Chain A
Amino acid sequence: MTESNETPRQGARGLLRSDQFSGLMLLALALYVGWQNRVYPVGTLSEPGPGYLPLLLAIFLGAMGLLIALWGARSVPLATIKWTETTRAVVILVACGAATLALERIGYRLTVIALLVFVLGVLERKRPLPVALVALGFSFASYYIVGDLLRVPLPRSPWGF
């Protein structure tokens, strides 16, 4: 599992390992869920309430997170995980978020055109003509197939298309 040249024991000194980090994150999530769960009645062992199973699961997830962190000394150092594509991934997610906000405001077709123009033109730096063709073609063709042929209701723009 170790990807670096150093032995696991050498590498363990002073370096946070990937499993140690992810295990602690899971523990934090479990603690958060446990905290949020305090408003729901847990009930009793024989008569569980709505908070019973979430609490059990939070305890279980926390325990798993702790064990993953404790057994994580043999995993790769956290610093060796490459995040080269992360900036692009975040930009894609933000663009999709903006598209989600726009979807019911400006309609499916305009939203998809805007999203494709941004991703293809700005992010992928494709030439304008193919970008326009793909954006228009995909938007109208997918609307026709899904919206018109398959009769799935898709949002329209305030201008009626």
Chain B
Amino acid sequence: MSSISPQEIKQEFLKSKTGITGIIILSSLIIISVIAIITIPIETFQEWNNPEKWISYPKVATPVWVNLFMIEKIPEHKILDSPNIQTNSNGEVFLTSHQFGVNFDYDDFPNDFIYIFSSEYSGSPILEMSVIRPDGMKLELISTSLPHANSEIIHSERIFSTDSSIKKNLLLQSEKFLFNLDNLSSEDIVFSKSESNKPLKGNYIFSIDTFSINSQPQSLESEFIIGGKAFGIMGTDELRRDLAIGLLWGTPLALFIGLVVSIASVVMGLLYGVYAGFKGKKTDETLMRFNDVLYALPALPFLIILSVTISNSIFVMVGFLMIFGWVGIAKVARSMSLQIKTRGYVDAANMMGQKDSKIVLKHILPQLLPYAFASVAISVPAAITTEAGLSFLGLGDPSFPTWGQILHDANTFGASSRGLWWWIMPPGVMVAITGLAFVFIGNALDAIVNPKLKR
């Protein structure tokens, strides 16, 4: 542990391949965090546990890119929210037509289709939904009147494909199909070839026409959802949440937890250990016995009890993790400072009458800095996996979607025995990659600081 200048460390570090790999991974994680913070508004992840927010998303949908490897393409979940709007007025009757075009190019039927709208009107407008299929066939789906209103009101409704009147309308048009429609669901009929019950590929146009008398309804919201089995880059979970958002937001959270915990514990440990080693005698003895006590506390059970009884807020948790983090570092720092203390220049400083605090801060601590950096890097993965473990047990902060939290949900819904790999793999891989980045950096630094490990 001779003194190495920062330049030497930098040079040595740049030579080590693992160190460089670690830095590359870490910087890409930081970029991901920045992207997450900029592109995904904070409100989104605060609504992570609000089922209302995710209602238009599909349940346990695979990632979209799975289709690249599939011969039979899985239908994608499509949320169409920009309809082609046409308005017509024929004297007293106003016609508003919303058209949604969709290219359906999959080998399986969609799960369902839903039309979500809310509009402001008076009177009793009539709503008609129909679809023009790629083979030119036009199917009438539903014709319903909106609730009557004497004055202007806002009405919101969802029309589901499971609606019995859609099925009834389709059965009335059963002569267009060459097979029996009785036991099929509406979406299986609408998206089916006419000769056999197989998905028909091509462009579908769903049009929703609203007829009203005297006044034109104001459309406030108009969304057409084709419920599929694939969605987004990372898929969705049982509660319809977009896993990509959870994973993205998990990155800054994990980095925050890991870095804050490890930096704070290293600083605490260093100061404590150096002070004990420098003072020696009674002070050293007392401080080290206290250290022994903390060292012997079983960390995980205590973390669990603390988070159950005191608070499971993420910030409090960071504090708890620190309590157990600094102990080992203090021990090493103490023994190192015992060695440095015997050096001539410390004696000299002492004789010159410098204050203890100044000697510790100016002459001993700087010598320990390389070790400090290495231990920061090495203790980050432990902090991240511990937090992930606590969240996995369901003791984490429910208001933040950390990776452990996602895995906890996955386990609760039996993702591994149901084969929902996209729910289990990515969070764990992210935990591991983040850990690896810091382990790489830490090992590279360690090899420089501890020349004994060099071959």
Partners in one complex: no
